[in-house]
Amino acid sequence: MHRDQIIFYLFSGFLIPDDPFGSCENKYCGLGRHCVISKETRQAECACMDICRQHYKPVCGSDGEFYENHCEVHRAACLKRQKITIVHGEDCFFKGDNCKINAYSKMKSMLLDLQNQKYITEENENPNADDVSWKKLLVDQMFKYFDADSNGLIDINELTQVIKQEDLSKDHSECTLYDLVKFDDLNADKHLALEEFYRAFQVIQLSLPEDQRLRVSVATVGQSVVLSCAIQGDPRPPIIWRRNNIVLNNLDLEDINDFGDDGSLYITKVTTTHMGNYTCYADGYEHVYQTHIFQVNGKQCGIAISLLSLL
């Protein structure tokens, strides 16, 4: 018998019509079932398939469960003795998902490592993987690869293709690529835009003009003042303010108690005790920081009391 015919019989509910299984030759058992010879009666009978051929094309069943392919749906219907149809939707992809935050972070690290190895192989170089710009490059390349139709959005079908091509089934992790949509689809449209992809992999681009790295601010005793942080980013993490190596955000100070939505530092009723260096940076990115040298003019003498004069 030709090899293709053998495969056809095996996966369409027939057994090969050679002795001692000849009695299965004309017995069709339907989807998810196959013909076997009973050990007791030696007669042909139908039974649920033991396994399905490995083929990753996930679908949702009408029972709300996730199945790796159509064959698994039909096999489950046989085992459960109930009718299960294929539902055109992706809701079941996330139902009963055991992916937790820690496992999700590990999966994303694994994806970055895979992309890093792929790039090194292609470019024959091994840059510093911890560098912020290098991480952005890897994520950009990953997004381009995932976005098969280049429309700027990654959908479930494209994630499915990547899982299949890269053999990223759930056997390797408690999480799957579908969890990118579960955790980081901010607008709940079941697609991932580049900004959402950046957020998933914590790619943040910060900028600070060179002429803004050091600023001098002057106020008079009794006034109120606002120190603005010039660090820009999309998205920009919360702004942290420090003075004398102490994080001000964590202190419940009466005169410095409002940091505003834009990350500005508000000082009310300025006194000479407020003089000093104030440093701001985006949370988690201390290497990009701005320093404010805050000087205070005394009301009575009218002379600027400068921190610089005290250094």
How far apart CA 171 and CA 174 sit, in angstroms, is 8
- What is 114-135 written as a DSSP string? HHHHHHHHHH-----TT-HHHH
| 273 Cβ contact list (under 8 Å, min separation 6) | none
Q: Which two tokens stand for residue 206?
A: 């910060």
Mean pLDDT of 7-34: 62
Task: Quickly count helices (H) and strands (E) in the chain.
Answer: 8, 17
Q: Which residues, listed in sequence order, are joined to residue 206 by a DSSP beta bridge?
A: 233
Q: What is the CA radius of gyration of the chain?
A: 32
Burial class (CB in 10 A: 0-12, 13-18, 19+), 161: middle
- What digits encode the pLDDT tens for the residues 244-281? 999 998 787 878 866 667 789 999 889 999 999 999 99
Strands 214-220 and 285-297: parallel
Task: Let me know: does 35 contact 14? Beta carbons within 8 Å.
Answer: yes
Would you place residue 166 in the very low, low, confident or very high pLDDT band (cuts 50, 70, 90)?
A: confident
Task: Let me know: does 44 contact 52? Beta carbons within 8 Å.
Answer: no
Strands 304-305 and 44-48: unpaired
Q: What is the pTM of this model?
A: 0.53
Strands 246-247 and 265-267: unpaired
Task: Let me know: does 178 contact 156? Beta carbons within 8 Å.
Answer: yes
Q: Residue 203: count other Cβ atoms within 10 Å of its Cβ.
A: 19
Tokens 């017995």 appear where?
27
- What digits encode the pLDDT tens for the residues 47-86? 999 988 877 677 788 887 778 788 888 999 999 999 988 8
Tokens 């990009």 appear where?
288
What pLDDT, on the 0 to 100 scale, is given for residue 289? 94
| 18 Cβ contact list (under 8 Å, min separation 6) | 1
Q: Give the long-range contacts of residues 194-200, CB within 8 A, separation 24 or more.
A: 194/143, 194/152, 195/234, 195/235, 197/139, 197/142, 197/143, 197/154, 198/136, 198/139, 199/235, 200/108
What pLDDT, on the 0 to 100 scale, is given for residue 89? 67
Strands 192-193 and 153-154: antiparallel
Task: Let me know: does 138 contact 116? Beta carbons within 8 Å.
Answer: yes
What pLDDT, on the 0 to 100 scale, is given for residue 63? 80
165 φ, ψ (degrees, to nearest 5): -70, -35
What pLDDT, on the 0 to 100 scale, is given for residue 174? 79
Is residue 96 pLDDT above 70, yes or no?
Answer: no
Q: Which residues, listed in sequence order, are joined to residue 34 by a DSSP beta bridge?
A: 47
- What is 248-287 written as a DSSP string? GGGS--SSS----TT--EEE-S--GGG-EEEEEEETTEEE
- What digits encode the pLDDT tens for the residues 98-141? 788 888 999 999 999 999 888 776 655 555 544 667 888 899 99
